[in-house]
Amino acid sequence: MCLAKAGQPRPQPSTGPAPRAAHWLTWMATYHAGVSNPFTFLDPLVALEAKIQELEQLAQSRGVDLSVEVASLRQKWAEESDRTFAGLTAWQRVQLSRHPQRPQASDYIDRIAQEFVPLAGDRVFGDDAAIITGLGRIGAHACLIIGQQKGKDIHERKRCNFGMPHPEGYRKALEKMRLAERFHLPVVCLINTPGAFPGVEAEERGQSLAIAVNIRDMSLLRTPIVVAVIGEGGSGGALGIGVGDRMLMLQNSYFSVISPEGCAAILWKDGAKRDIAAASMGLTADILSRHGIVDEILPEPPGGAHRQGDAMAAILQAALVRNLDALTKLPMAELLDRRYAKYRTIGQVIEGGELLTGARMAAAHG
Amino acid sequence: MVLDRLRRGAVAKDPKKIPDGLWLKCPGCGKTVFKKLVEERQDTCPECNYHYTMSSVRRIELLIDSGTWKEWDAGLSAADPLTFTDSKPYPKRIAESQLKTGMNDAVVCGTGALNGMAVGLGVMEFAFIGGSMGSVVGEKLTRLVERSTAARMPVIIVSTSGGARMQEGALSLMQMAKTSAALGRHKEAGLPYLSILTNPTMAGVMASFASLGDIIIAEPKALIGFTGLRVIKETIKQELPEGFQTSEFILQHGQIDLIVTRQDLRGELARVLSYLHRPRSTAAA
């Protein structure tokens, strides 16, 4: 099971930078040993964090009051964070979405659900650890929760296949969604995958079929579905649990037709052009929201989701509850019509010299 | 064999002087074959029955009773939602493909009679940016399915595609959801959808409408799968099994119903539809 064990210490609450910066720095240093640090754009933030920690330690060991200095540094840190996160490039957001300390589905489930009953297996072939499914309560809503899980240490990562599901993962998700439909439980899907697994066994067991059937059946599922992209939204692998009534997206996550590396390799014949590809494909939340794909962008707390897991979880939980409140009030026929219309209106075409998009496109042919 | 016969007929004594466009080298058996013969047998090799890429125009001729075809939404063409430029700007790429193929985008949709039965038919065109699916392909197929649902007609889609069109980013990805949702409603209306997979059908197209047929039929030896061979090889770093991702391979793995040669395709579709679909108002007259 991917979920953190009870009693395990959780990251510190959301007041300023977590005091485990030193641990984090050491960890980053070893993790990226021999590899250039992809997070240099966070260096000013990290430096401030180290300084705050230094002052705090000093205050504690010497028994002096440095609270004014610390508060002013924290203020500076929050401002620096705002500046950094407002100005990130698409590629930097992709990197953040893959940050090794970014909370995963299991972390969010731990924090947003009052309890969680994990359910395994597709009832046909196997149990895919890359997709967690289970029953949980979010606020007042008894839900089915589905989440793609990358794994936190090397053992879990291997077990979760680094978050790349096999067909049995998608079939497990659908199996549990049918359960949710039968017992009138809304569905919450947390997306975080580089993509569906590109391997021989996945092809043999029908990766395309599994994803296609999920997409179609989620569009018909007679219960509300809220989708949240918490990290990587890798193509069909993400869409395989990603069709719903509302799509939420964390500020530093991405949702894309192909990975920036893949796009660069194909269109620019050079995988290193991934930053250009990322900027070109419009894979960030702001652009996706302009095209009607994303309904709500969830801002990340200062320092980013990877620094403040609890604060991020609180934001996510509030958004989920708000959307579930609204969706569960809708009559079923209206819910399904709206869901159909949501996808029906995505795209841009030119017809008769006129640019059609959104509602006008759906209306164009009556 | 054919080659020898044609050579004896002095069509081209010197192989170096084979006139352009008269001869084809078959990718299946490697033999040089007379193009006219290939065309006479629905773009298949007279030697080994290799199935050449078939244009959408010829595919419609193959499947639809002559004089009954009515095209829908031919005027739709691509916008440039992301102002995308790789080696060339996306609008330029579109304009070049339009010039090359004489089509507005990578799918032709419409309605016609298949052995007398009215059907909605969509045919993808590989020559148009690899048959990739952007907003136009998604929108045209969605309209096709919606109109067919309203008219209570079966839908047939002949797929060939490298996948979603990268130049429209996630808008292309979402066409997978849009087309699949429309097919979901068609299915709920109790109507049959036949999906025909031709060489190649990959990625976003295979992971959406192409995989949703009530009956899924592939042409022989077509390349069909989710991830491209090169990416799989790079990922797993080992040799792939013999015949991996061919029609025969996925048939053996239980993912499709039938493999049908092009010569038999129309008859087979009519036969299957005669079981799955009874038009409401049979032309009793």
Look at residue B19 in the predicted model and tell me its pLDDT. 54
Does one domain contain both B36 and B62? no
- Residues in chain A closer than 8 A to B236 (CB atoms): 199-200
Is B284 inside a domain boundary? no
Is B140 inside a domain boundary? yes
Does one domain contain both B16 and B128? no
SS3 A234: strand
The pLDDT of residue A20 is above 50: no
Domain of B34? 1-51
Q: Cβ–Cβ of B226/A219 closer than 8 Å?
A: no
Is B58 inside a domain boundary? yes
Does one domain contain both B187 and B108? yes
Is B20 inside a domain boundary? yes
The pLDDT of residue A220 is above 80: yes
From B88, which residue of chain A is nearest by alpha-carbon distance? A267
Domain count, chain B: 2
Does one domain contain both B46 and B115? no
The pLDDT of residue A11 is above 90: no
Does one domain contain both B78 and B33? no
User: Of B14, B31, B51, which closes a domain?
Assistant: B51
pLDDT in tens, A239-280: 999 999 999 999 999 999 999 998 998 899 888 899 999 999
Please tell me which of the candidates A240, A340, A347 has its beta carbon nearest to residue B171.
Answer: A347
- Residues in chain B closer than 8 A to A199 (CB atoms): 227, 232, 235-236
Q: Are B167 and A282 in contact (CB under 8 A)?
A: no
Q: Stretch A187-213: mean pLDDT, rounded? A: 96
Look at residue B281 in the predicted model and tell me its pLDDT. 60
Q: Cβ–Cβ of B207/A211 closer than 8 Å?
A: yes
Q: Cβ–Cβ of B227/A352 closer than 8 Å?
A: no
Q: Are A108 and A152 in contact (CB under 8 A)?
A: no
- Domain of B269, CATH number, reads 3.90.226.10
Look at residue A360 in the predicted model and tell me its pLDDT. 79
Please tell me which of the candidates A215, A220, A349 has its beta carbon nearest to residue B176.
Answer: A215
Does one domain contain both B142 and B29? no
Range scoring the smallest mean pLDDT among A16-30, A106-120, A145-159, A249-263: A16-30
- From A17, A356, A27, select the one nearest B77 (Cα to Cα): A356
Q: Cβ–Cβ of A346/B84 closer than 8 Å?
A: no
DSSP conformation class of A5? P
Look at residue A200 in the predicted model and tell me its pLDDT. 92
The pLDDT of residue A6 is above 70: no
Q: Stretch A206-215: mean pLDDT, rounded? A: 98
From A356, which residue of chain B is nearest by alpha-carbon distance? B79
Does one domain contain both B101 and B222? yes
Does one domain contain both B35 and B119? no
The pLDDT of residue A349 is above 90: yes
Model confidence band, residue A150 (pLDDT cutoffs 50, 70, 90)? very high
Point out the residues of chain B with pLDDT beneath 50.
1-18, 282-285
Model confidence band, residue A15 (pLDDT cutoffs 50, 70, 90)? very low
DSSP conformation class of A272? G
Distance from CA of A142 to the nearest CA of B (A): 26
User: Of B14, B32, B51, which closes a domain?
Assistant: B51
Model confidence band, residue A201 (pLDDT cutoffs 50, 70, 90)? very high
- Residues in chain A closer than 8 A to B167 (CB atoms): 267
Starting at the edge strand found earlier in the chain, the sheet holding A348-351 runs A354-357, A348-351, B77-78
Is B282 inside a domain boundary? no
d(Cα A67, Cα B176) in Å, to the nearest integer? 55
Q: Cβ atoms within 10 A of the Cβ of B29, count? A: 14
Is B281 inside a domain boundary? no
Look at residue A17 in the predicted model and tell me its pLDDT. 42
Q: Are B108 and B72 in contact (CB under 8 A)?
A: no
Is B28 inside a domain boundary? yes
Look at residue A36 in the predicted model and tell me its pLDDT. 65
Is B285 inside a domain boundary? no
The pLDDT of residue A26 is above 50: no
Look at residue B20 in the predicted model and tell me its pLDDT. 65
Q: Cβ–Cβ of A206/B81 closer than 8 Å?
A: no
Does one domain contain both B165 and B180? yes
More confident residue, B239 or A80: A80
d(Cα A244, Cα A218) in Å, to the nearest integer? 7
Does one domain contain both B179 and B268? yes
DSSP letters spanning A111-145: HH-S-EEEE---SSS---TTEEEEEEEETTEEEEE
Does one domain contain both B46 and B57? no
Model confidence band, residue A64 (pLDDT cutoffs 50, 70, 90)? confident
